């Protein structure tokens, strides 16, 4: 198994690479552990905090998700939403974005707003061929279907920073971003930081 060097705590994040972890069926605990070991800033989307409770940020756009989950969340991550009602009701950080969205897309936008120059994606499957989520169906909020996945792909295709995103999801239909292998992309971050001293 490939091992990755953790970037030194407090050191400048020269590569400015963030990782966004969504909840597609291809997401694995092993991939999340590789991300944790890398030390890169991480945003978990909706229930994916359960595989990445150490994440720096937790993003969920929908008020219904916060209504169903607000009492069961870890204390560490900063909590974000783009929904004013959810922000006011639960004291969340408000990420001010407008227009059609999905929480996975908004998490990527948040990464760039927080200073990312490059974003790696996990669990961004944008299909339901292997199920709806790695954790199964939501019981209290909407679940994706093929039609919603097609709409999500159109929304992602409008992101201005598409060329700065690498989709490392193990099985994905979201091809408006470059595709990559997580291990190789994490190694690139280490190599870049090493080469810059």
Write down the CATH number for the domain with range 17-195: 3.40.50
Taking the model in full, what pTM does it have?
0.85
pLDDT at 91: 96
- What whole-number distance in Å separates Cα of residue 78 and Cα of residue 71? 15
**Tokens representing 79?**
């909590």
- Check pLDDT > 80 for residue 139: no
Lowest mean pLDDT across 76-85, 117-126, 127-136: 127-136
pLDDT at 144: 63
- What whole-number distance in Å separates Cα of residue 29 and Cα of residue 27? 7
Angle at 154 between CA 130 and CA 118, to 5 degrees: 85
Q: State pLDDT tens for residues 13-33.
A: 445 999 999 999 999 999 999
Q: State pLDDT tens for residues 170-182.
A: 888 889 999 999 9
2 or 20: whose pLDDT is higher? Answer: 20
- Check pLDDT > 60 for residue 197: no
**Domain coordinates in residue numbering, the chain:** 17-195
Calculate the average pLDDT of the chain.
Answer: 85
pLDDT at 17: 96
- Check pLDDT > 90 for residue 5: no
Handedness of CA 134, 120, 100, 85 (dihedral sign): positive
């Amino acid at each position: 198994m490939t091992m990755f060097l953790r970037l030194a705590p407090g050191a400048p994040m020269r590569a400015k690479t963030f990782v966004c972890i969504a909840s597609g069926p291809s997401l694995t605990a092993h991939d999340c552990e590789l991300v944790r070991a890398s030390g890169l800033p991480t945003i978990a989307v909706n229930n994916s905090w359960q595989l990445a409770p150490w994440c720096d940020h937790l993003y969920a756009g929908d008020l219904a998700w916060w209504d169903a989950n607000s009492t069961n969340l870890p204390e560490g991550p900063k909590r974000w939403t783009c929904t004013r009602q959810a922000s006011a009701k639960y004291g969340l950080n408000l990420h001010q974005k407008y227009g059609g969205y999905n929480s996975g897309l908004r998490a990527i936008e948040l990464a760039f707003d927080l200073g990312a120059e490059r974003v790696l994606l996990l669990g961004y499957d944008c299909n339901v061929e292997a199920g709806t989520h790695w954790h199964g169906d939501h019981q209290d909020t909407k679940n994706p279907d093929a039609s919603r996945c097609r709409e999500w792909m159109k929304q992602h295709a409008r992101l201005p920073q598409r060329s700065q995103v690498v989709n490392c999801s193990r099985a994905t239909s979201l091809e408006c971003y470059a595709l990559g292998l997580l291990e190789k992309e994490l190694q690139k971050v280490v190599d870049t930081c090493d080469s810059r001293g």
